[in-house]
């Protein structure tokens, strides 16, 4: 979700961004999926994130609003204004890193989440890296509204 915010600054004041990722542990005991959609206007955004993981019994849907700040060329931080998510039913507390990251206090700090542009691809795609539950890299799609 957060990684895609960066694109808004590249694409103009109105953009819709989406992406999906699959997360696995190397031993195969943990699996997760995360999808997001985001709408950016100027420096503010609204996003919808849906994810689930091995330790959860249900799917978590979270809605966020916030602001994007540019630190240096290709480097950005975001600040959350507001966030709501549905209730989580947990079956294994050791296998919910995504949910733990989502509810962590650190994440609510201003400019805590960092985003770095790695590469611009063809067909409205970009590769960005971000911190989060762990530093990771994903490709995101950007659709600009005229």
Partner 1 sequence: MYKVKQWVLISDYSMLKNTITDEEKRIGSHDFLVLLLLCENSGNIVHKHKLLEYAWAGKHVSEGSVAQAISNIRNVIDDNGKDQKHLKTIPKIGYKLDSCVVEIIDDPTFDRTLIEEKAEGKILSPDTSEQEKNTHDASIPAQKDMANHSIGNKYSWLHSWQFISGVICLLIAFIYPSIRKHDINTPDTTSIIVPETITDSASLTMFWDNKERGEIVSLRLLPYIEALQKTHPPIRLVIMHVENTLSLVILKESLKPINVIFMLNSGDDVELITQLIKDEIQYHEH
> Which one of 40-48, 58-66, 82-90, 133-141 is the stretch in contact with partner 1 (CB under 8 A)?
133-141
What distance in Å separates the CA atoms of residue 136 and residue 129, rounded to the nearest whole number? 6
With 0-12 CB in 10 A as exposed, 13-18 as middle and 19+ as buried, what is 105? exposed
Q: How far is the CB of 22 from partner 1 (least distance, A)?
A: 5
- Rounded to a whole number of angstroms, the minimum distance from the CB of residue 50 to partner 1 is 15
Taking CB under 8 A as the rule, does residue 130 contact partner 1? yes
CB of 24 to partner 1, least distance (A): 6
Which two tokens mark 124? 């409205």
Phi (first) and psi of residue 31, to 5 degrees: -140, 150
Tell me the backbone φ, ψ of residue 96, rounded to 5 degrees.
Answer: -130, 55
Asked if 66 is part of the footprint of partner 1 (rule: CB under 8 A), the reply reads no
Q: Which of 25, 65, 86, 104 binds partner 1 (CB under 8 A)?
A: 25
């Amino acid at each position: 979700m957060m990684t895609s915010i960066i694109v808004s600054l590249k694409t103009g004041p109105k953009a819709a961004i989406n992406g999906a990722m699959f997360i696995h542990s190397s031993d195969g005991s943990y699996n997760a999926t995360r999808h997001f959609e985001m709408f950016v206007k100027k420096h503010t955004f609204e996003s919808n994130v849906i994810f689930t993981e091995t330790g959860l019994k249900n799917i978590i849907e979270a809605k966020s609003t916030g602001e994007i700040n540019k630190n240096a060329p290709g480097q950005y931080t975001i600040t959350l204004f507001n966030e709501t998510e549905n209730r989580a039913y947990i079956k294994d507390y050791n296998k919910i890193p995504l949910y733990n990251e989502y509810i962590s206090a650190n994440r609510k700090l201003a400019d805590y989440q960092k985003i770095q542009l790695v590469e611009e691809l063809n067909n409205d795609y970009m590769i960005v890296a971000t911190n989060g539950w762990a530093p990771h890299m994903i490709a995101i799609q950007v659709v600009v509204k005229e």
